[in-house]
C-alpha cells in the first residue's frame, strides 16, 4: 500500500494511492496515518479495503507529510562510506545518531525556506523508516515486525550551523522545512528488497546525487534494532538513514542552495519530491 496525507498544512486528511495513481480518502476509516493505523493489525485492516469503495479526491491536491504524530525524528549520519569520505570523516564503527526537530517536518513538495543567517544550505536524499509498533531493545530479527513502512526524507541541512556553531548536529538539521517526508508511506510488502533501491537528487535539473541503499554501511533492519537499544520507539517515529555522496558540501568548490533553486529527489518505489528554495522573508 501507499498511504498518504493530503490537504492544507495543519489540516491534512488520511488517504491512500489506488492502483491508477489516484488519491482516495481514508478519513471515514482512520483518523490519520498515525498511531494504531500504523500497527500490523491496523495496516492489515487497510489492506482488506477495496480502494474503489473509497471517495476519490479531486486533483490537484497538496500532499502533506505522509505520517502524523511523529515523536522521535532520529537521523543517522555518515551511513554511506563514500559520503563519509567526501565529508572528510572516518567511516564510523557504530551508527552516528542525532535528532531532527519534529517541527522541521514538511510535505514532499512544500517550499524550503532559507533560515535567517544561513550561508551553507545543503541537500541530502535519504530513505526513512516509519515505526508502527512500540519497540525497545529488540533484536535485528524482530525489526520487520515493528516497521510500518518507508518513505523519502529530504534531510535538508545548514552546514555552517551544523559544523561551525559547536555542539550537536541538530542545530543544522532542524529549521522549518528541513524534513520533507513522502509523497507516501510504502508498506514493506509492496516495496520488495529495501536494500537495493536506487536514489537520486537533482538541483535545477542537474544530477547531484546518485546512489543505492545497497551501499549502506549499516542496513535498515539493523538500524531499527540499534536505535531501540537507546530509546523506546513509538508508532509514528521516523528514522532517516543517511545519504549517498554528492551533497553540496562535498563538491569542489562547495555548492549550496539559494532562493529560487529547484530540488527534485526520488527513490525507486517511493516516488519523488519537488521543492523550491525560498527566502526566509
pLDDT for 29 beyond 90: yes
- Domain of 235 in residue numbering reads as 68-278
Percent of the chain with pLDDT over 90: 90
Q: In the structure, what pLDDT confidence band is assigned to residue 195 with cuts at 50, 70 and 90?
A: very high
**9 in a domain, yes or no?**
no
Q: What is the pLDDT of residues 94-110, one digit of tens each?
A: 999 999 999 999 999 99
Q: Look at residue 281 and tell me whether its pLDDT is greater than 60.
A: no
Count up the domains in the chain and report the number: 1
Q: Is residue 18 part of a domain?
A: no
Tell me the CATH number at 121. Answer: 3.90.850.10
Q: Which one-letter DSSP state was computed for residue 69?
A: -
Q: Are 43 and 29 in contact (CB under 8 A)?
A: no
Instruction: Kindly state whether residue 40 falls inside one of the protein's structural domains.
Output: no
What does the alpha-carbon distance between residue 79 and residue 180 come to, in Å, rounded to a whole number? 20
In a domain, 28, yes or no: no
Tell me the three cell numbers of residue 16.
491512500
**pLDDT number for residue 166:** 82
Q: Is residue 148 part of a domain?
A: yes
In a domain, 94, yes or no: yes
b/e map of 204-236 (b: 16 or more CB within 10 Å)?
eeeebbebbbeebbbbbbebbbbbbeeeebbbb
List 202's β-bridge partners, or say none: 207, 264
Residue range 208-229, pLDDT digits in tens: 999 999 999 999 999 999 999 9
Neighbours of 118 (CB within 10 A): 18
pLDDT computed for residue 88 by the predictor? 78
pLDDT at residue 31 in the model: 97
Omega within 30 of 0 (cis) for the link into 48? no
Residue 124 included in any domain: yes
Model-level pTM? 0.96
- Strand pairing report for 73-77 and 238-240: parallel
In a domain, 110, yes or no: yes
Average pLDDT, the chain: 95
Amino acid at each position: 500500500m501507499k498511504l498518504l496525507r493530503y490537504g492544507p498544512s495543519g489540516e491534512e486528511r488520511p488517504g491512500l494511492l489506488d492502483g491508477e495513481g489516484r488519491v482516495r480518502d481514508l478519513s471515514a476509516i482512520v483518523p490519520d496515518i498515525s498511531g494504531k493505523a500504523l500497527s500490523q493489525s491496523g495496516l492489515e485492516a487497510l489492506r482488506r479495503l477495496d480502494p474503489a469503495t473509497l471517495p476519490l479526491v479531486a486533483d490537484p491536491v497538496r500532499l502533506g507529510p505522509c505520517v502524523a504524530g511523529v515523536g522521535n525524528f532520529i537521523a543517522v549520519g555518515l551511513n554511506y562510506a563514500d559520503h563519509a569520505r567526501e565529508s572528510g570523516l572516518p567511516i564510523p564503527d557504530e551508527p552516528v545518531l542525532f535528532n531532527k526537530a519534529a517541527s522541521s517536518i514538511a510535505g514532499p513538495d512544500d517550499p524550503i525556506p532559507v533560515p535567517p543567517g544561513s550561508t551553507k544550505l545543503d541537500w541530502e536524499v535519504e530513505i526513512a523508516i516509519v515505526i508502527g509498533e512500540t519497540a525497545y531493545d529488540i533484536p535485528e530479527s524482530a525489526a520487520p515486525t515493528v516497521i510500518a513502512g518507508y518513505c523519502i526524507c529530504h534531510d535538508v541541512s545548514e552546514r555552517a550551523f551544523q559544523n561551525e556553531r559547536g555542539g550537536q548536529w541538530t542545530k543544522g538539521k532542524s529549521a522549518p522545512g528541513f524534513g520533507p517526508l513522502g509523497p507516501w508511506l510504502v508498506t514493506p510488502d509492496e516495496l520488495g528488497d529495501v536494500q537495493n533501491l536506487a536514489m537520486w537528487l537533482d538541483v535545477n535539473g542537474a544530477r547531484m546525487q546518485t546512489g543505492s541503499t545497497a551501499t549502506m554501511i549499516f542496513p535498515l533492519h539493523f538500524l531499527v534494532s540499534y536505535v531501540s537499544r537507546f530509546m523506546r520507539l513509538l508508532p509514528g517515529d521516523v528514522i532517516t538513514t543517511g545519504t549517498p555522496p554528492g551533497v553540496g558540501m562535498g563538491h569542489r568548490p562547495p555548492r549550496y542552495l539559494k532562493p529560487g533553486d529547484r530540488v527534485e529527489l526520488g527513490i525507486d518505489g517511493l516516488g519523488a519530491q519537488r521543492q523550491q528554495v525560498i527566502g526566509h522573508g
